[in-house]
Amino acid sequence: MEHMPQHSVLLSTEEVLSLLEDTERYRIVEADENPLLYAAGHIPGAVQVDWMTNFLDPVVRDLITPSDFAKLCSKLGIAPETTVIFYGDQSNWWACHALWVFCYFGHTRCCIMDGGRAKWLNERKPVSWDVPSYPPTEYPTPAVNTAIRAWRDDVLAHIRQGKKLVDVRSKAEYDGLMTHPADYPTEAAMRAGHIPGAVNIPWSTAVRGDGTFKSPDELAQIYCTDAGLDPNDDVIVYCRIGERSSHTWFVLRFLLGFRNVRNYDGSWTEWGNLVGVPIERAALN
């Protein structure tokens, strides 16, 4: 199969190092699960986004509005023509989530630094404790790209039509043996299991031990040959709150060239708490 060129969306740590001085065209953004990591040392010139305080509406469970996204970009010194380079902890979970949010708001000049924060630090590349400040930009209010996001009604329609769903959580979560990941005991859903028809491909199968993405051929083996997905399929991916599935969305969309893949960011914290929706539990079958 024909793959997307990785260089267009993935930058090595060496490539990012060579771009540190070019703050006119590039903005490096750190996005972590643990927001305290940024203050412990970050890539020189990098700004920080926090998924909860920057991307989520403070009252309604939803993303921020397009006007708030424009204000965020202006504050970070990001213009519509700026190429944004994301990196972070957890093998770039949250970096991929940030990239997905930016793409949802129409900012497609985005890259991921392969290997994330851990690889940069392990290679003893320069770090800074300074918080940079950039001149605010004139960022217009964008239109959203609904083609890359799924809602619960989309998932219900997907089930009825027998289309492809990918659950990227652990096998124990998928099988219904737990209602939450082991490290998140306070974030359980009311019910355990998975969405009917979903195949389980844990997000971590896409990365190597150092957090870098596997080669396109290796990824094609995992998602296409072994799991039976096709780049022409209409695919919805989900996890618990949409962060791990953003990682898989990035793999399918940009590294394998899937044409129609959506991230269901409501994910299991929505589905596992809904009344009356269908659920499968492998452990009870």
Q: How confident is the model at residue 179 (pLDDT cuts 50, 70, 90)?
A: confident
Given 144, 179, 200, the domain boundary residue is 144
Is 1 inside any structural domain? Answer: no
For the chain, give me the number of helices (H) and strands (E)?
10, 9
CATH number of the domain within which 22 lies: 3.40.250.10
Output 18-26 pairs: Cβ under 8 A, ≥24 positions apart.
19/85, 20/44, 20/45, 20/126, 23/77, 23/134, 25/81, 25/82, 25/83, 26/82, 26/83, 26/84, 26/85
Residues 212 and 279 in one domain: yes
Is 224 inside any structural domain? Answer: yes
96-132 pLDDT per residue, tens: 999 999 999 999 999 999 999 999 999 999 999 999 9
Is 152 inside any structural domain? Answer: yes
Cβ atoms < 10 Å from Cβ of 275 = 5
Is 157 inside any structural domain? Answer: yes
Residues 128 and 157 in one domain: no
Residues of the chain with pLDDT > 90: what percent? 91
Short-list 97, 111, 88, CA closest to 244: 97
CB-based contacts of 139, cutoff 8 Å, min separation 6: 70, 71, 73, 74, 78, 79, 80
Give yes or no: 239 in active site: yes
Residues 237 and 252 in one domain: yes
Residues 38 and 91 in one domain: yes
Q: How confident is the model at residue 284 (pLDDT cuts 50, 70, 90)?
A: low
Catalytic residue among 96, 110, 111, 239: 239
Residues 159 and 139 in one domain: no
Is 117 inside any structural domain? Answer: yes
Given 114, 144, 174, the domain boundary residue is 144
Domain housing 158: 147-284
Give bridge partners of residue 29 from the DSSP assignment. Answer: 47, 86
How many domains would you assign to the chain? 2
- How far apart CA 82 and CA 80 sit, in angstroms, is 6
